[in-house]
């Protein structure tokens, strides 16, 4: 088991960022709700208490048995975490005169203190708090201040317990990483040996032990997560992994063949299933976005279930669940709100009775890509834009039929190829085309036309939760529009979607 930092979540919007920063130091960490602390094992080297929207002055303020933690391990409280340490030890936390939100500069810093080592005077830090620590208990010492806040960082004398009012995990705290490194590496003495190579090695060994001679079935989507999960499981159990890749008739142009071939090249045992007709039939006459999604989900389960049954003695379902999926399922709101049923593969029904194996459920997306790189997976798979499970169906407004899918596939193909050729593919987070349910008048070769309209959509984003439209050059958009109208029969007009998310979403349905 690797050394680990335990992060206790009190509900801050930044908790995941703390985890990412710690992992960037090659130290493994896990986030757990403050009210669901796991058993302590020897590999836990320190604890970080996150921020929180709550106030320690609230009657039902979230709290932990602090003494139990600080007697045992080094502890770092961030914002609410720091306020909690002060408050529970008899210090005074009050509403601040001014709400401190945004940049501040350190005007005093005790660089002899282990946590503040190598921090510079005037270092910019990021504040986001409405309460302030007005007075510290006797045995606490102040180790950093700003011109407006005296107690910006403290240490409990004689103990490895620290608090900081600013947020080291956000990039606006320029030397935030130094503080985290000081805590994790110097104070907790973690050895920084958690790397993608080690992850691959230990995960494969663990999978071998867990799965033994058992068979696993896994749905491959062509996406990053399922591809990396499959490769790891394949390294562990070889031919006992059975992959299924379904052609739902809603994939991009040539995607079924291309993806299937690249998987075969990787030595995976993949069965391609042509289920186009089943999907088109289920979608016939459907125009309501939610009904389309439900219809697709249902056919997907039917197809997958039938295929899984054709493999003898299969006892496991492999899934590409990643850490954010898991964190979202386990909230700080208490045990009642904890478990969300996983909707991977459209939510597999209980009757499939398979045990679930999810080798990536501790990794963030970018870590999954690094692991994929270590495993030698091709960049064309690792660098892929996200593509929604229901595929082109949610980009065809109105009725879906083979003809309309074909039109959109051609349009999408021209758009994506042009992005690749111009170097823009890797600069945008996701791109695609939408076929609208309207016709417009045009003129081609002196003749009136009355044909379809497509919208192009390209966005920049970090995680898909918010997005901005990509500012593609006008010349590029012009070339793409010309090529689409000239080559794709049935389209005489191209528009570009310049909506941000929120209030729009990335997909149109
Ligand atoms: N065409 C398909 N054939 C087989 N399985 C599929 C297909 N599409 C999706 N799946 C399965 O459903 C899961 C969820 O798909 P979805 O695209 O929503 O997830 P994801 O998080 O984007 O993962 P991935 O990066 O693997 O696509 C995939 O991980 C895969 O196991
Ligand atoms: O696997 C998926 N199944 C879905 O049903 C689905 N709907 C949206 N998306 C993808 O999620 C991201 C955010 O999309 P929205 O802004 O449209 O909600 C974008 O990346 C979308 O492509 C889906 N992915
Ligand atoms: N970011 C935080 O942790 C804020 C803590 C507390 N809610 C405050 O406003 O001071
Ligand atoms: Mg996907």
* 321 close to ligand 2 (CB < 6 Angstrom): no
**Does residue 346 register a pLDDT over 70?**
no
- The two three-digit tokens of residue 162, written as one number: 């620290």
- Distant-in-sequence, close-in-space partners of 439: CB < 8 Å, separation ≥ 6: 450, 451, 452, 453
- Looking at per-residue confidence, does 184 or 20 come out higher? 184
Ligand 2 atom closest to 507 (CA)? 17
CA angle 210, 213, 219 (to 5 degrees): 75
- What's the confidence (pLDDT) of residue 502? 86
Compute the distance between CA of residue 115 and CA of residue 99 in angstroms, rounded to an integer: 26
Q: How many CB atoms lie within 10 A of CB 445?
A: 5
- The two three-digit tokens of residue 457, written as one number: 């959509």
* 389 close to ligand 2 (CB < 6 Angstrom): yes
Q: How many CB atoms lie within 10 A of CB 154?
A: 26
Q: What's the Rg (C-alpha) of the chain?
A: 27
Residue 310, annotated as binding a ligand: no
Query: How many Å lie between the centroid of ligand 1 and the Cα of residue 98?
Result: 48
pTM of the model: 0.81
**Does residue 481 register a pLDDT over 60?**
yes
pLDDT band at 353 (very low <50, low <70, confident <90, very high): confident
Mean pLDDT rounded to a whole number for the chain:
92
- Distant-in-sequence, close-in-space partners of 73: CB < 8 Å, separation ≥ 6: 40, 44, 45, 46, 47, 160, 188
Ligand nearest to the CA of 388: 2
pLDDT band at 389 (very low <50, low <70, confident <90, very high): confident
* Average pLDDT of the residues in 367-385: 93
- What's the confidence (pLDDT) of residue 326? 77
Ligand nearest to the CA of 221: 1
Q: Residues with beta carbon < 5 A to ion ligand 4?
A: 221, 223
Query: How many Å lie between the centroid of ligand 4 and the Cα of residue 385?
Result: 9
Residue 226, annotated as binding a ligand: yes
Active site residues: 79, 167, 169
**Omega within 30 of 0 (cis) for the link into 502:** yes
* Average pLDDT of the residues in 218-239: 96
- The two three-digit tokens of residue 438, written as one number: 């309207």
Quote ipTM for the complex. 0.87
Domains and CATH numbers, the chain: 4-187 (3.40.50.880), 196-382 (3.40.50.620), 401-496 (3.30.300.10)
Place of tokens 């439900």: 294
Q: What is the DSSP letter of 467?
A: B
pLDDT band at 347 (very low <50, low <70, confident <90, very high): low
- Cβ–Cβ < 8 Å for 363, 324: no
The dihedral over CA atoms of 396, 399, 404, 409, expressed in degrees to the nearest 10, equals 30
* Burial degree of 180 (CB within 10 A; 0-12, 13-18, 19+): buried
Q: Which CA distances in Å does 356 have to 63, 361, 408, 410, 486?
A: 34, 11, 36, 38, 49
Residue 2, annotated as binding a ligand: no
Query: How many Å lie between the centroid of ligand 1 and the Cα of residue 226?
Result: 6
Strand 153-156 to 140-145 pairing: antiparallel
- What's the confidence (pLDDT) of residue 446? 87
How do residues 402-432 score in pLDDT, each as one tens digit? Answer: 999 999 999 999 999 999 999 999 999 999 9
- What's the confidence (pLDDT) of residue 323? 84
Query: How many Å lie between the centroid of ligand 3 and the Cα of residue 333?
Result: 17
How do residues 72-104 score in pLDDT, each as one tens digit? Answer: 999 999 999 999 999 999 999 999 887 788 899
How do residues 290-305 score in pLDDT, each as one tens digit? Answer: 999 999 999 998 999 8
Compute the distance between CA of residue 499 and CA of residue 71 in angstroms, rounded to an integer: 53
CA angle 357, 243, 323 (to 5 degrees): 35
Residue 336, annotated as binding a ligand: no
* Average pLDDT of the residues in 122-130: 94
How do residues 233-285 score in pLDDT, each as one tens digit? Answer: 999 999 999 999 999 999 999 999 999 999 988 999 999 999 999 999 999 99
Strand 153-156 to 161-164 pairing: antiparallel
- Distant-in-sequence, close-in-space partners of 111: CB < 8 Å, separation ≥ 6: 117, 118, 119
H or E stretch at 17? helix 15-24
């Amino acid at each position: 088991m690797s050394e680990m930092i335990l992060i206790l979540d009190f509900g801050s919007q930044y908790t995941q960022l703390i985890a990412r920063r710690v992992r960037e130091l090659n130290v493994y960490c896990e986030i757990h709700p403050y009210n669901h602390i796991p058993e302590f094992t020897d590999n836990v080297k320190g604890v970080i208490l996150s921020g929180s929207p709550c106030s320690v002055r609230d009657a039902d303020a979230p709290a932990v048995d602090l003494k139990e933690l600080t007697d045992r391990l080094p502890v770092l409280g961030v914002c609410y975490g720091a306020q909690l340490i002060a408050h529970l030890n008899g210090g005074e936390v009050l509403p601040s005169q001014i709400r401190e939100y945004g940049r501040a500069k350190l005007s005093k810093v005790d660089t002899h203190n282990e946590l503040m080592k190598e921090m510079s005077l005037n270092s910019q830090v990021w504040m986001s708090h409405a309460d302030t620590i007005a007075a510290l208990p006797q045995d606490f010492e102040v180790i950093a201040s700003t011109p407006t806040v005296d107690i910006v960082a403290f240490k409990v004398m004689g103990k490895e317990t620290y608090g900081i009012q600013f947020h080291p995990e956000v990039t606006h705290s320029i030397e935030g990483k130094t503080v985290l490194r000081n805590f994790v590496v110097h104070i907790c003495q973690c050895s920084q040996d958690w790397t993608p190579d080690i992850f691959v090695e230990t995960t494969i060994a663990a999978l071998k032990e867990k799965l033994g001679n058992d068979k696993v079935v896994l749905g491959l989507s062509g996406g990053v997560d399922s591809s990396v999960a499959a490769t790891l499981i394949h390294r562990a159990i070889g031919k006992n992994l059975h992959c299924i890749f379904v052609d739902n008739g809603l994939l991009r142009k040539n995607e079924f063949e291309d993806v299937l071939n690249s998987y075969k090249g990787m030595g995976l045992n993949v069965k391609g299933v042509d289920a186009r007709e089943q999907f088109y039939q289920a979608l016939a006459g459907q125009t309501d976005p939610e009904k389309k999604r439900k219809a697709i989900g249902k056919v997907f389960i039917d197809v997958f279930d039938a295929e899984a049954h054709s493999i003898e003695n299969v006892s496991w379902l492999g899934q590409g669940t990643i850490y954010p999926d898991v964190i979202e399922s386990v909230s700080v709101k208490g045990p009642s709100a904890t478990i969300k049923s996983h909707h991977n593969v459209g939510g597999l029904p209980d009757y499939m009775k398979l045990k679930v194996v999810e080798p990536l459920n501790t990794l963030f997306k970018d870590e999954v890509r690094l692991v994929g790189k270590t495993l030698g997976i091709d960049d064309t798979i690792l660098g892929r834009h996200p593509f929604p499970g229901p595929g082109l169906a949610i980009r065809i407004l109105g009725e879906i039929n083979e003809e309309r899918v074909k039109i959109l596939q051609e349009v999408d193909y021209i758009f994506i190829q042009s992005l690749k050729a111009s170097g823009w593919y890797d600069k945008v987070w996701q791109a695609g085309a939408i076929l609208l349910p309207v016709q417009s008048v045009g003129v081609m070769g002196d003749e009136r036309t009355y044909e379809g309209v497509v919208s192009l959509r390209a966005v920049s984003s970090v995680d898909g939760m918010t997005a901005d439209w990509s500012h593609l050059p006008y010349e590029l958009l012009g070339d793409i529009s010309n090529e689409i109208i000239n080559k794709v029969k049935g389209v005489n007009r191209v528009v570009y979607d310049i909506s941000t998310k929120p209030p729009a979403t990335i997909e149109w349905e």
